[in-house]
Structure 1
């Protein structure tokens, strides 16, 4: 798909109160962001703090449950499919991994063929084979140049297997594969993982050059570089921050939810302490229940092992909560699986 020169190539990314909840609670919440087209956005924080999920949610690969975000004016989570069409993933473990058995050239040809098959115009599909081949080579060369990957400098040139690439070379290859589709947003995970200081500086210089060329870059890292628009996540609360590091949301758990959890624990403890044998309670407790107004049925049900109305209501509530959690989990898993197939093109 040819880029329209009359439109800005990059995409503005805006988030307000953005949050995603998983089966064990909030992964991140209250995220605020304002990024202009062509910005370099660093999502920093420790491992397990929701960085990758935030990256996937902002690119339409995971469905958020709170607040909203917009990418190039496309509102999330309503326009997730449209956002996926204008964004591309670089290296994201478990989603867009490189195949270690394939060579560099094989990866590039596969991505170019998939791009032409699914994103090409009808006019491009009916071109003469020689013209299509020339256009494909030009697009690959353009992506390699933007990613700073020189195939001739590799041990076996384009026939070098991915397993033989250095970490920085593999990162450049992943970026080149993503740029073949000329996306408006480029997203990367673990940008600075296992990189030396010199390689880390080269990686950030690469991403800055991509952003300067007009593509908005979202990069997960352990430490944001100087000059990047920074979002900071914290393990356990999913707090966020703006470019100056000032928090835009506490990300703390809802007090009402915490109180409900405590009440549930107290109820469980109370149920454990109650005598399991009704006969051990004595006849005095039975007499007291009979004298108390409106407790005949409840006491009888409790001693006979039946569920009281309150217990039945609790069971129904638990069943509803379990169903909602299951639905949320399935939505998240389905989005992740479908996007993994979409990125690799292999079932």
Structure 2
């Protein structure tokens, strides 16, 4: 087994300047700028429809920006989108990383491990004996579950528990586990604290902090940023740096006629904004 297999990935520094994505309905987000060190916890705040999900997709190389620039590790956006995709992963993003409610937890994990072995490993790794590859996949799954804090023994049917039967926090942990199988340097998590109780929110942030402590840089959409995070706001006209000790940088206001729609209770505007921007950039 590769001796690098168990080592934590080195997190990627992330920065942006005048960063924005424009879709058919106008700016998804506009004028975002911030800097974060490797292993940082970055919290993205803003009302529904303000482009929070689009920012995650743009910073992970899944959506082409319309203005400005960003850097993830040594890679620049938009010029090196494919390189950024290789070192980043998404978790819990509606419409992008949705879990299949009919599949079991074990089926999701085995599928992701197989995909990682097929497309993420070196040619040398692909030539390993079948038994060795199976052992590697099993170890990857076990490591990912431990990293995400998902104990299969606590689930109703263990690994055979269907996704539809998971609690919301359990589904978040599964999505994170699937993402970290690929050992990303940057992990982007959407709707981190949506519909979670106070105790569950604390557990979710504890999970993401543990990832940063192990070396991974994490950027997460939230309604309320945790203490110590680098806070980035997508709300047009939001005053910067007035609500927390760490630096918060807000985008400049959208240009006339391009202000996002009013926020909705259930996040539907975010989904629409994301779909429109993806269509505009040719990545739908």
- Asked whether the two chains share a fold, i.e. TM above 0.5, the reply is yes
> TM-score w.r.t. structure 2 length?
0.86
- Structure 1 consecutive aligned stretches of length 4 or more whose deviation exceeds 4 Å: 1-8, 238-247, 328-331
1:199 counterpart = 2:196: no
3-state DSSP class of the match of 1:143? helix
The structure showing larger relative contact order (alpha-carbon pairs under 8 Å, at least 6 residues apart) is 2
3-state DSSP class of the match of 2:58? helix
Task: Report the equivalent of 1:63.
Answer: 64
CA contact (8 A) 1:100 1:163 kept: yes
Task: Report the equivalent of 1:152.
Answer: 153
- Deviation for aligned residue 1:25: 1.7
Task: Report the equivalent of 1:126.
Answer: 127
Work out the CA distance in 2 between the residues paired with 1:34 and 1:136.
Answer: 35
Work out the CA distance in 2 between the residues paired with 1:14 and 1:170.
Answer: 29
Q: Which has the larger radius of gyration?
A: 1
CA contact (8 A) 1:231 1:241 kept: no
Task: Report the equivalent of 2:112.
Answer: 111
CA contact (8 A) 1:149 1:172 kept: yes
3-state DSSP class of the match of 1:187? strand
Task: Report the equivalent of 1:51.
Answer: 52
Gaps of 5+ in 1: 259-327, 338-347
Work out the CA distance in 2 between the residues paired with 1:329 and 1:189.
Answer: 16
Structure with a larger share of its residues in helix: 1
1:139 counterpart = 2:140: yes
Give aligned pairs, total.
263
Greater CA drift, 241-250 or 85-94: 241-250
3-state DSSP class of the match of 1:88? strand
Work out the CA distance in 1 between the residues paired with 2:99 and 2:49.
Answer: 22
Work out the CA distance in 1 between the residues paired with 2:190 and 2:141.
Answer: 22
Task: Report the equivalent of 1:344.
Answer: none
3-state DSSP class of the match of 1:210? helix
Work out the CA distance in 1 between the residues paired with 2:159 and 2:239.
Answer: 41
Deviations 1:68-118 (A, max 9, x none): 000012110111111011000111000000000000000000000000111
Work out the CA distance in 2 between the residues paired with 1:113 and 1:240.
Answer: 46
> TM-score w.r.t. structure 1 length?
0.71
- Deviation for aligned residue 1:8: 6.5
Task: Report the equivalent of 2:23.
Answer: 22
Task: Report the equivalent of 2:73.
Answer: 72
Counterparts in 2 of 1:83 and 1:128: CA distance versus 1, 3 Å: same
- Deviation for aligned residue 1:253: 3.4
Gaps of 5+ in 2: 258-276
Task: Report the equivalent of 2:190.
Answer: 189
